[in-house]
Amino acid sequence: MPRCSSTTQNVATLAMIYAGACVVYLVLTRPLGTPFRDSLTEAQQRIKRDSVRARRDAFLAGLAISAMVVLCVRPFSVN
């Protein structure tokens, strides 16, 4: 099995720590509910919904552009 560089190992370790923290956060905050969201008026909820949609679309565009660049440049390919 090929060995990874120390940088790769460090980044992988940080990614695993972050993933674990995300899981713990989800488990601990699940029963807390959403008191702020529950207090919003219908107009405020509509503004939030529109904002969420715009931010989602921006993220998906960034994801698609990044994927195209990485697939074209292939920075991790071994030649």
Q: How confident is the model at residue 1 (pLDDT cuts 50, 70, 90)?
A: low
* pLDDT tens-digit map of 13-22: 999 999 999 9
**Distances from the Cα of 40 to the Cα of 34, 44, 45, angstroms:** 11, 6, 6
**Distances from the Cα of 12 to the Cα of 44, 60, 71, 76, angstroms:** 40, 24, 21, 15
* pLDDT tens-digit map of 20-79: 999 999 999 999 999 999 999 999 999 999 999 999 999 999 999 999 999 999 887 776
pLDDT at residue number 79: 63
- Considering the entire predicted model, what is its pTM? 0.65
